[in-house]
Amino acid sequence: MKQEVFKYSGSFVLESGAVLQNLHLAYTTYGTLNSEADNIVWIFHALTANSCPHEWWPDMIGEGRVFDPAKHFIICVNMPGSCYGSISPLDINPSTGAAYYHQFPFFTIRDMVHAYRLLQTYLGITKIRVGIGGSTGGQQLMEWAVQDPELFEYIFPIATNAVHSPWGKAFNASQRLAIEADSSWQNQADDAGRKGLEVARSIALLSYRTDMAYNKTQSEANDDLIEGFKSESYQRYQGSKLSARFNAFSYYALTKSMDSHNLGRGRGGVVAALNSIQAKTLALSMEGDILFPPYEQEFIASHIPEAHVKLILSDYGHDGFLLEFEQLTEAISHFLEKEQLVSNK
């Protein structure tokens, strides 16, 4: 495993028109590029993860796993705006000499992919065998597959969509409202909005999981209890757990990035954009996902030429893409093997 930082020396122009002179991307690689340069797997992480998928997808990355460094050259980049090494709101704004904080420029999903393509050029990559990502990571994958239809041989968009829905935007808006309601949010400090972030995370969890998951893990054994319930302490714990490793500025920025996702913008509509994708596609859905419902992946598969869709059974809803390793491995492996047989014929 290697962790590196790509620094771009030119001017990077965002969709908003803002210009950055200090674009940099933290990225992690595993394995070695083979002589044919045809063993690349590009993984896109979700909202608050980092560029080390072995930490948050341990049963998908590693020796004997579906993505094995002994066979594949695996790349994962930290999203711009995140706090794990790529350019972020806590970085110094060269024009002011102080941290960006609230003035951090707005990165759309499309901007993120433009940044990744600079790294792609720097690494000399002309073909990617597999692109895979869940949630907002899947949004980035979809955007790239539209921007460069011939780049990916296979794509696996998981629990994601072609356009971020009004429902998803509403969840994100409520989370940002929670951060804005924190009296410390306007402070020029790294920990501004920390309590608001904790509330935002508790809101997000309700969209990531299902009633079944909560009823299985947070039920009370004591019928006489009238307060101090497990579910409340769980919400508080998850909020404080995130605020200890993340910051409100990054969270605020990345939820806005997610909201910007629309493959059809400036391309004649979503269907036309999906029709342009040439990669062999298996869209993966999570049973009970209320944030990215299965019909959104069915829509993706119905408009990408010869694409397929597979439902992963889970009690965990959206979070199933981080937990249902066996089913994901089986679905991905089977699809790759089947498509390789077809290609050989």
Whether residue 191 lies in the annotated active site:
no
Task: Give yes or no: 333 in active site.
Answer: no
Q: Active-site residue among 82, 88, 135, 250?
A: 135
Distances (CA, A) of 297 to 289, 292, 317: 11, 8, 14
Q: Does the active-site annotation cover 318?
A: yes
For residues 82 and 202, what is the distance between their CA atoms, to the nearest angstrom? 19
C-beta of residue 138 within 8 angstroms of C-beta of residue 112: no
Q: Which long-range contacts (CB under 8 A, 24 or more apart) does 140-145 make?
A: 140/44, 140/79, 140/109, 140/112, 140/113, 140/116, 141/42, 141/44, 142/263, 142/277, 142/300, 143/109, 143/110, 143/112, 143/113, 143/261, 143/263, 144/113, 144/116, 144/117, 145/277, 145/279
User: Across 60-117, where does the E strand assignment appear?
Assistant: 73-77, 92-93, 98-99
| Distance between CA atoms of residues 79 and 47, nearest Å | 8
CB-based contact 304:164 (threshold 8 Å): no
Give me the catalytic one of 261, 314, 318, 319. 318
The residue whose two tokens read 């965002």 is 14
Catalytic residue among 111, 182, 259, 289: 289
Residue pair 131/145 in contact by the 8 Å Cβ criterion: yes
- How far is Cα 164 from Cα 169, in angstroms, rounded to an integer? 7
Residue spans of beta strands (DSSP E) within the chain: 2-7, 12-13, 19-20, 24-30, 40-44, 73-77, 92-93, 98-99, 128-134, 152-158, 280-286, 308-312
Looking up tokens 């629309």, which residue turns up?
262
Supply the residues annotated as catalytic. 135, 289, 318
